[in-house]
Amino acid sequence: MMRTLLLLSTVAILSAWAVKCKYDGQDLDNNQIIVVQNAFRIKCLTEDNGSWKTEIIGCVTPDGTEIDAGQKKEHGDKIHECVKSESGQVSLKESKGRMAACPGGQQNGEEWQEKSFKFRCGDGGVVKFIACVGQDGSVINAGETGKIGGFDVKCEQHANGTITMQAANDPKSYECKAKDGSMKKNGQEYVEGNFVRKCGDYGQGKIIGCFADNVGSTIGVNQNVTFGDVIYSCAKDGANYSFKTYSLKPPAVYAMCAHEGKQYTNETTFISQGSFRMKCVTFKNLTSTLEVVSCITPAGVEIPIGAKMEEGDKVFECTSGNVTLKSTPGQTGKCRGTYKVGEEWVEDSFKLACEPYGKVSLKSCFTKEGTEIPLGEARRVPAGYAMECVMVNGNVALQTAKKFDCETNTGEIKKIGETWNEGNFIRRCANYGVSEIVGCYVENIGSVGLNQNLTSNGLLYMCIHQNDQFKFRTLRAQ
């Protein structure tokens, strides 16, 4: 605030009378001082030769303080200066005091931030720009160049008062760094996760849309794209971007099979232990089971349950029930891992032979005396009875052969039940190829029953069976 008053102080007027000054219609005595315009003090100066002049000798502040021309006075937060120019112009200049507050109410010396700029309330309530502040909090003093987020930024206050914080270099010269570490040129578009970015000024990759594998083109921000059963939604909410997928299908609840830490869905199959193909079967009641659907031979051939497969000298079979992969010798496979096809060997009382596919067949039995009896046949053993080598209920048995022909001492063969004479005894062929004595025989006379007497021509014939002994006696009849 400035008020100015100009007085032509050199005005001199001659007067024969008591000399007075004239100012604005009033007479002033010598040395009289008046205040004009509430701001200036004017003094009347007269000379004896009758000349006078008025002179501005100082200023008066609104609160009444007098200040001599050329002086200043600080009062409260105001400074008043009474300025006299060479041309004689005097002005009362009002300015703020050193400690005056700033227009925003900040105290002298106080610092504050507005947006990205930092200010201080300087002397006289003058706002001084002191620094720029980056979003990461880094500070660049006014007039200096510093780094914010890796970029050179210049903090400046221009002569016209405008403050700028701007890249020291061409903003377009900065490359963007993608998450994978690759660098992108200004203007280049690139995919980062589910977002499409475009490299903008200052190396800022700006999100311009979303990316989904199935959708060929960029999905714009705040745009939905439907593809198949899925809505892909790219949205911006405030400063946040989101990419979401919504399924149009009602949510399905289903069971899965777990096996060795892995999850399988209905109907999927996998190979377990290298030997079985398992299938996951799930049910509506959310239970699941694993089924074996086939076996896998060591050579990797898959064979269904119930099937056989010859591989090398082995035959593999995928057995049902508790599914197993069974390995048995093949056509040329050794029996019991030892005997070649065609080979024969004796084990206990049996002679065995190796047949194709590892099949062991029984050839014959051996009695303890060493008589060999082919399977299905019977032989008389040295002890006199017959033994047979037969299959009984799936087992091979060496047993006495019930039905076996008898042999007379002359070598004749007799069937079971047949009788014949041998010396003075009558024999009948019984079981086991053994004959039993059923009576005695006297030549030309006839037969005598066991423990019977026969008298003929003065002779008594006795046929005795006593204590398992058979005797034939001939006595003179008395």
Ligand X SMILES: *[C@@H]1O[C@H](CO)[C@@H](O)[C@H](O)[C@H]1NC(C)=O
Residue choice 222, 247, 263, 409 for contact with ligand X (CB under 6 A): 222
Distance CA 97, CA 75 (A): 8
Residue choice 274, 321, 417, 458 for contact with ligand X (CB under 6 A): 321
Would you state the structure tokens that stand for residue 286, as one six-digit string? Answer: 């959310």
Angle in degrees, CA 229, 232, 235, rounded to 5: 155
Would you state the structure tokens that stand for residue 64, as one six-digit string? Answer: 């009444």
Would you state the structure tokens that stand for residue 1, as one six-digit string? Answer: 């605030």
Is 466 a residue that touches ligand X (CB under 6 A)?
no
Would you state the structure tokens that stand for residue 337, as one six-digit string? Answer: 């891992």
Is 231 a residue that touches ligand X (CB under 6 A)?
yes
Is 141 a residue that touches ligand X (CB under 6 A)?
no
Is 266 a residue that touches ligand X (CB under 6 A)?
yes
DSSP 339: B
Among the candidate windows 52-60, 280-288, 379-387, 399-407, which touches ligand X by CB under 6 A? 280-288
Nearer to ligand X, 266 or 419 (CB): 266
Number of residue whose CB is nearest ligand X: 238
Is 249 a residue that touches ligand X (CB under 6 A)?
no
How far, rounded to the nearest angstrom, does the alpha carbon of residue 73 sit from its chain's CA centroid?
80
Cα→Cα distances 412→7, 166, 169, 420, 422, Å: 187, 135, 133, 10, 11
Among the candidate windows 30-38, 174-182, 238-246, 295-303, which touches ligand X by CB under 6 A? 238-246
The site string for ligand X over 2-21 (x = CB under 6 A, - otherwise) reads ------------x-------
Distance CA 474, CA 441 (A): 11
Q: How far is the CB of 277 from ligand X (least distance, A)?
A: 16
- The dihedral through the CA atoms of 96, 102, 107, 108 has a sign that is negative
Q: How far is the CB of 19 from ligand X (least distance, A)?
A: 10
Is 284 a residue that touches ligand X (CB under 6 A)?
yes
Distance CA 336, CA 322 (A): 25
Among the candidate windows 207-215, 231-239, 310-318, 344-352, which touches ligand X by CB under 6 A? 231-239
Is 283 a residue that touches ligand X (CB under 6 A)?
yes
Q: DSSP assignment of 186-221, as one string?
A: TT-EEEETTEEEEE-GGG-EEEEEE--SS-SSPEET
Give the residues lining the site for ligand X (CB under 6 A). Answer: 14, 47, 49, 51, 158, 160, 162, 222, 224, 231, 233, 237-238, 240, 246, 254, 266-267, 282-285, 287, 321-322, 453, 460, 462
